[in-house]
Amino acid sequence: MRPLAHLADPDDAIAFPAFYALTAPAIRAIARGPLHRARHVGAACHAPVGPGGCAECEATVDDLILNSFARLRGPLPTTRSGEPVRELALVREHLISPQAAYEDTAALAHVLRGPAAEGEESWLRAARAQLIHYPLSHLEERIRRDDAVRRGAAARPDRDLRQAVWATPLRTDPATLDMLIFAVFRARRGASRRDIPADLCERHGLSPYEARRQMDAALLRLRILNPAFYTANLDVEPFTGIPWAAGYAHSAHGLEREAAQETLRQLTTPGRTCRRAYEAVIAGICAAGHGDCADPVGLAMASMDLARPSARRLVRTLVSLVAAAGPDWSEARCSIDSIVATRVHREHVLILTGLGPDEAALAQVAVRS
């Protein structure tokens, strides 16, 4: 048994293990959802080996626990009016009480992980509020913002678009400004680029088609006006780190180039099922490589009825093929007009297996009616 009174020990080497045993289960349980939504588009993350989450999420949880420990051990915080936070003072008083020497942190951790119960001791309710919920407040928004800033994006992109001098030309039309702000936060949340809220369309009297056209035009204008802001806040994930998309040639050996070209020929052979869909997605990849506003992932989702993760995997593989085959060759093979002119018949559903970002060819494509 690790007594609760250890949390009040002056030696951090004694106090922290007891604090960890008391708070870590609750902090991990509550942080799991916001972290998965902020970093993994709602999917669970897993450690490479053994239980636990990915390294990034595990590090964030560790930081949250350390920050909560520092809050308990540091100077008593005050409210905006200058009054000491009474709940935290109540917790500290209980830790030095005689009763704390006989309370087990492991048993109390199970109670802290659950919701407040009727008749619960006041210090325990205060501990849940001050040591668990307060450090995790607005966690999803904070993680999204901090991760974006770490990638070089703006902490407050909406403020930059509304106030920065460089963005003045973008503020001449209220609809354009609202579209750009929505696009930035949509990208930060990993949402589909096809979705424009109905209330945003109604606010500016636009149909969904008109809103999409206006957003594409606004994104193109933003990319021309401030490429650094666009890249940091809106760049499409599948093209990150692809050499030809960054402006220099992809060096492929002769055999690799021939193999990639042959694979693309097979995918775009007249009469092949979903040929038009492949042409549209490949053309979108070439357009994005030229800096045009194109959404190959969205095209793959719409034309092939794929979920976003499957569409992203397909685009990553096609990006590698296009880079190896040569963007000019690929563009000639699949006219960029396919993005606009082609209507894809959804007569078949693709089953994708084995796709990954580093593969040089499609692993396996099975088609069923």
Tens digits of residue pLDDT in 157-169? 888 899 988 888 8
Helix axes 275-289, 296-304, angle to 10 degrees: 170
Dihedral sign, CA of 341, 345, 349, 351?
negative
Distance set, CA 153 to CA 106, 150, 250, 304 (Å):
41, 7, 27, 32
pLDDT for residue 336: 43
Give the integer Cα–Cα distance in Å for 330 and 129: 58
> Could you give phi then psi for residue 294, rounded to 5 degrees?
-135, 150
| CB 309 within 8 Å of CB 357 | no
Does the pLDDT at position 14 exceed 90?
Answer: yes
Residue 276: band (very low, low, confident or very high) from pLDDT cuts 50, 70, 90: confident
3-state SS class at 10 = coil
Give the residue ranges of DSSP H helices in the chain.
Answer: 12-40, 55-73, 86-95, 105-113, 122-127, 139-150, 157-163, 174-188, 198-203, 208-225, 227-234, 254-267, 275-289, 296-304, 308-325, 327-333, 338-341
Which distant-in-sequence residues (6+ apart) come within 8 Å of 311 by Cβ? 297, 298, 300, 301, 304
What is the SS3 assignment for 69? helix
Q: What are the structure tokens assigned to 362, written together?
A: 């499609």
Sign of the alpha-carbon dihedral angle for 197, 176, 344, 243: negative
Residue position matching structure tokens 């594409």: 216
The sign one gets for the Cα dihedral 300, 304, 305, 306 is negative
SS3 343: coil
How many CB atoms lie under 10 A from the CB of residue 315? Answer: 30
Position 90 scores a pLDDT of: 95
| Cut 0.75: pTM above it | no
CA distance 350 to 9: 61
Mean pLDDT over 87-99 rounds to 94
Lowest mean pLDDT among 82-91, 204-213, 214-223, 290-299: 290-299
